Amino acid sequence: MNDLISRQAAIDLVRDVCNAVMSGCESRYDPETEDEVYKDILEVDAILKCNKEVRIALCNMPSAQPERMRGRWIMNDNGTYSCSECHSWIPNEQHYYARYCLYCGAKMDEVEE
């Protein structure tokens, strides 16, 4: 998976999942050992469940990377071509090698005659 996610959304998600899973736990921080102290094995199981739920939730987060618009060159009556997305036109011969609209950046799939 190579898409981007929002950093703040990921932080919020981890916090919310951990709070939900660990809400019934009575763990505490021990300043002497500088570690968390858990009441019983059920709390340790809750932490393992929390790790699993965080991994699942992060994998299911929506991508923050916008999808590129896709369009087509549409032939006009005057011999020019227009982008199907922004309707900007280019000279006739440029549509052969313009893979993206020069104005809106849409990826061009094919020509509509």
Give a three-class secondary structure readout of the chain: CCCCCCHHHHHHHHHHHHHHHHCCCCCEEECCCCEEECCCHHHHHHHHHHHHHHHHHHHCCCCCCCCCCEEEEEECCCCCEEECCCCCEECHHHHHCCCECCCCCCEEEEEEC
Alpha-carbon gap, residue 81 to 60, rounded angstroms: 41
Averaged over 17-28, what is the pLDDT?
Answer: 75
User: Of 60, 68, 27, which Cα lies nearest the Cα of 44?
Assistant: 27
Percentage of the chain lying above the pLDDT 70 cut: 93
Residues 6+ apart with CB under 8 A from 87: none
Mean confidence (pLDDT) of the chain: 81
Q: Considering the entire predicted model, what is its pTM?
A: 0.43
Query: Confidence band (pLDDT; 50, 70, 90) for 111?
Result: low
Alpha-carbon gap, residue 97 to 107, rounded angstroms: 12
pLDDT at 112 exceeding the cut of 80: no
